[in-house]
Structure 1
Amino acid sequence: MNNRAQAYTDEILAQLMGDLESDLVERKANFTGSAPESVREAVCAFANDLPGHGRPGVIFIGVDEHGHPTGLPITDELLRTLADIKTDGNITPPPTLTVSKHHLRGADVAVIQVWPADSPPVRYKGRIYIRIGPRRGIASAQDERILNEKRRFRDRPFDVHPVEQAKLSDLDLRRFELEYLPALLPPDLLAANERSLEERLAAAKMLDSVERQTPTVLGLLIIGKNTRDFLPGAYIQFLRIDGNTLEDDIIDAQEITGTVSDQIRLLDAKLAAHNRISVDIASHTVESRHPQYPLPALHQLTRNALLHRTYEGVNAPVRIYWFNDRIEIISPGGPYGAVTIENFGQPGVTDYRNPNLAEAMRVLGFVQRFGVGIALARKWLRENGNPEPEFYPTPSHVLVIVRSV
């Protein structure tokens, strides 16, 4: 959570609820009709904090435009639906927000508090929303430049730190224009975009700024020509071992390199090639086929390893060791932020060491929702007959063990 401002007290929330002039407040009488869309736009705008308040923006649900409670029932289901705004993958990078029920002015209301992002711009469905006085709007080219300039080096996640040794020529600009931009921007914005290539790269956080044109860690991970020249640990070490210990024979070994997209695609092919399918014709009237491992579960767990690993100050890769009886996935970097060794893997507990990489993986289609990868992996493993995945987080790495069916 942004540490420059604390959550508001009930006293301050009650004042903001009735302050019709404040550009830190949005009010919704209910959460039906167009409200879910406009609330997400408001979350995006408050996260961008174009006016530079440095304080949370507030969205009241169950409050009319005049600041009066509507009596809307504030149920647990409503609160869960509002909390899903953070993780449904439509706002990227994932915003920092809290959702809670408060008793204000004699009635219960739902309150969303949205902290300013450390690394703007933040997008909702590819569009950058900002607050313009008491209303919302789409950012202009000048607004985007201001948001880019607001990134402060000491506050930024490592994934958007500039890599001083790198140059613009180290980025694959054709790949950016043909692969990343069309996935990032809606077609109408892409067609109307009059910004220079350097401005587009900076807005996508691939460059530090238009003026400096220094590639960021994110730029090298997503469109770098030779990513490991600058981030030595940014690769996957894959081993297929014919046995159950590291002393047994290795039948396949590969260092999987390239951009994050390249690594995911090559690894997916490697996982599919080694996944044995068993055929059961005895216990059913219809032939039944069961893979040794459900591939969607392996995809979730390996992509989590790439997304949540640390890229800062380490030369260690993500390691995937496929034994005869299990797969071990080892990701450099322990739990981060709100995720601890004690609560690792618990439903609803998530944080992002690399929030901008999360955004890019969402843009490229490798992540559909945030914070549900482990739950989905558990579901697919269970349905396939595999044991529960085992998680062993430490301060320096996370080990996941997936056992064979």
Structure 2
Amino acid sequence: MNDRELLILLNDLESDRVERKASNSDPKKLRQAICAFANDLPNHQKPGVLFIGINDDGTFADFDVTDKVLVSLENMRSDGKILPFPTMIVRKLPVGDCTLAVIVVEPSDSPPIRYDGRTWVRVGPRRALASAEEERRLNEKRRFKDQPFDLRPFVSASLDDLDLSLFQQNYLSSAIAPDVLEENNRPLSQQLASVRLTTPPPESHPTTLGLLVIGNEPRGFIPGAYIQFVRFDGVETTAPIRDQKELTGSLFDILQRLDDLLQINISIATDITAQPIEIQHPDYPIIALQQLARNAVMHRSYESTNAPVRIYWFRDRIEIQNPGGLFGQVTEQSLGKGMVTDYR
């Protein structure tokens, strides 16, 4: 928040996004206020602000904002008394001939936030301990915001980063029934949001899913969004390399190019003596390779890793590696045994 926005809030004596303190002499109440602003029970989705050095009636207190004061306020974020750690900024604010200490507290994506094991919330202009119903509401807010990685928006991306013609000509016809599309008069921004490729308008930020499926350059936002293909002239990674490719782009482009690449690397032996017609024997069945490669792309993890899907083609085998490993109940011991399954 800039100085102008802070001054507007400072002068609003009725705002429930503001709390004023004459000094920092009662750190317990300061922590309660930080906790309450981070929980954002009224769902303002805007920062709450603590002004220190000013009385409730708007008159300035005799309070000296020193570096020691600012450090003590900053330490409230990570001293372990407020958990999970709140997101907050501590700074000075000059107001006329006076200077205030300011704590700007962002609404948390993981409420409820607790101070010494208790959940504090704002109820109008005052703070209070959360009731059971209020804690339930905070838990619902956390579940709503705690979306899977592929549905999280990239706020630095815009619709310009998506191939909208690919969406209209290929994706929609594959994902939505033709009769539904004929009756659908919604604008493009709403169509994108309805299939989770962007957030709802007016923001319309592409999600991870949107960038992967119809992004112009997904790798610019998701560094691991590509396939590394290497053909070795031997049985180890130290063998000479016959061919290598990096397949980038949207999933449509990557999978199409991968199919072509697999096809041209398959060797086909032809037998014209065993039967009246020639019999072809590929060294690997193309359909099986396509399924394995698609599984590697579909079931990989893009979160917390920049590694690509790797396809290493050796003289005696093909290795397909994808980041993320086994998931949930599926372990190395249970893999392929019984009916143990799980879903990422």
Establish whether TM, by shorter chain, passes 0.5.
yes
The corresponding residue for 2:175 is 184
Given the alignment, which residue of 284, 288, 292 partners 2:279? 288
SS at match of 2:229: strand
Distance 1:258 1:348, change over 3 A: farther
Change over 3 Å in CA distance of 1:232–1:164 after alignment to 2: same
Tell me: CA distance 1:346–1:260, structure 2 relative to 1, closer, same or farther (3 Å).
farther
How far is 1:295 from its partner?
A: 0.4
Q: Deviations over 1:149-197 (max 9, x none)?
A: 998221x221111122211211111211111111111111101102121
Structure 1 residue 276 corresponds to structure 2 residue 273:
no
Aligned partner of 1:152 in structure 2 is: 144
Shift of 1:347: 6.7
Which deviates the most, 335-344 or 247-256?
A: 335-344
Change (3 A) 1:347 1:269: farther
Using the alignment, how far apart are the partners of 1:238 and 1:260 within structure 2?
A: 16
Which secondary structure does the structure 2 equivalent of 1:279 belong to?
Answer: strand
Q: Does structure 1 residue 229 correspond to structure 2 residue 220? A: yes
Q: 1:277, CA displacement in angstroms?
A: 0.5
Structure 1 residue 342: Cα displacement: 2.5
* CA distance, structure 1, for counterparts of residue 338 and residue 170 of structure 2: 33
How far apart, CA to CA, are the structure 2 residues paired with 1:213 and 1:193?
19
- Cα offset for 1:286? 4.2
Determine the C-alpha separation between the residues in 1 that align with 2:337 and 2:201. Answer: 41
Amino acid of the structure 2 residue aligned with 1:191: E
For residues 216 and 248 of structure 1, the distance between their equivalents in structure 2, rounded to whole angstroms, comes to 40
Q: Which amino acid aligns with 1:305?
A: A
SS of aligned partner of 1:333: coil
> Residues 180 and 150 (structure 1 numbering): CA distance in 2 closer, same or farther, change over 3 Å?
farther
CA deviation vs aligned residue, 1:23-51 (integer Å, no higher than 9, x gap): xxxxxxxxxxxxxxxxxxxxxxxxxxxxx
Q: Which residue of 2 is the match for residue 381 of structure 1?
A: none
Cα offset for 1:346? 4.7
Counterpart position of 1:171? 162
- Aligned residue in 2 for 1:209: 200
Paired residues of 1:153 and 1:161 also in contact (CA < 8 A): no
Q: 1:263 to 1:347 in 2, by over 3 A?
A: farther
Counterpart contact for 1:308–1:352, Cα < 8 Å: no
Deviations along 1:232-274, whole A, 9 cap, x unmatched? 0010000011111111111111101111111111111001001
2:342 corresponds in structure 1 to 351
Match in the other structure for 1:313: 304
- List per-residue Cα deviations over 1:48-91 (Å, max 9, x = no partner): xxxxxxxxxxxxxxxxxxxxxxxxxxxxxxxxxxxxxxxxxxxx
Secondary structure in structure 2 of the residue aligned to 1:246: coil
Per the alignment, residue 331 of structure 2 pairs with: 340
Which SS does the other structure have where 1:206 is aligned? Answer: coil
Q: CA deviation at 1:348?
A: 4.9
Please state whether the residue corresponding to 2:319 is helix, strand or coil.
strand
1:263 has 2:254 as partner: yes
Q: How does 1:80-159 map to 2 (within 5 A)?
A: 152-154=144-146, 156-159=147-150
1:56-71 aligned within 5 A: none
| Aligned residue identity for 2:253 | D
Which residue of structure 2 aligns with residue 325 of structure 1? 316
Aligned length: 204
Instruction: State the 1:208 CA deviation.
Output: 2.0
Show CA shifts across 1:114-147 (max 9, x none). xxxxxxxxxxxxxxxxxxxxxxxxxxxxxxxxxx
- The residue that corresponds to 2:236 in the other structure is 245
3-state SS of paired residue (1:239): strand
Distance 1:283 1:297 in 2: 26
Report the Cα offset of residue 284 of structure 1.
4.3
Q: Secondary structure at the match of 2:322?
A: strand
**One-letter amino acid matched to 2:314:** F
Q: Residues 313-342 of structure 1, C-alpha deviation per residue, up to 9 Å, x if partnerless? A: 211000001011100101111112343332
3-state secondary structure, aligned to 2:230? strand
1:171–1:321 Cα change, 3 Å: same
Give the TM-score of the pair, scaled to structure 2: 0.56
How far, CA to CA, are the matches of 1:283 and 1:352 in structure 2? 47
CA shift for structure 1 position 210? 2.0
**Cα distance in 1 between the residues matched to 2:155 and 2:176:** 28
Larger Rg: 2
- Tell me how large the CA RMSD over aligned residues is: 2.0
Please give the alpha-carbon distance, in whole angstroms, between the structure 2 residues aligned to 1:345 and 1:163: 37
Any unmatched runs of 5+ in structure 1?
A: 1-148, 354-405
Task: Tell me the distance in 2 between the aligned counterparts of 1:183 and 1:150.
Answer: 33
Alpha carbons of structure 1 residues 219 and 249: separation in structure 2 relative to 1, 3 Å: same
- Structure 1 residues 96-127: Cα deviation after superposition (integer angstroms, max 9, x where no partner): xxxxxxxxxxxxxxxxxxxxxxxxxxxxxxxx
After TM superposition, what 4+ stretches of structure 1 lie above 3 angstroms from structure 2?
A: 281-286, 345-352
Classify the secondary structure of the residue corresponding to 1:319: strand
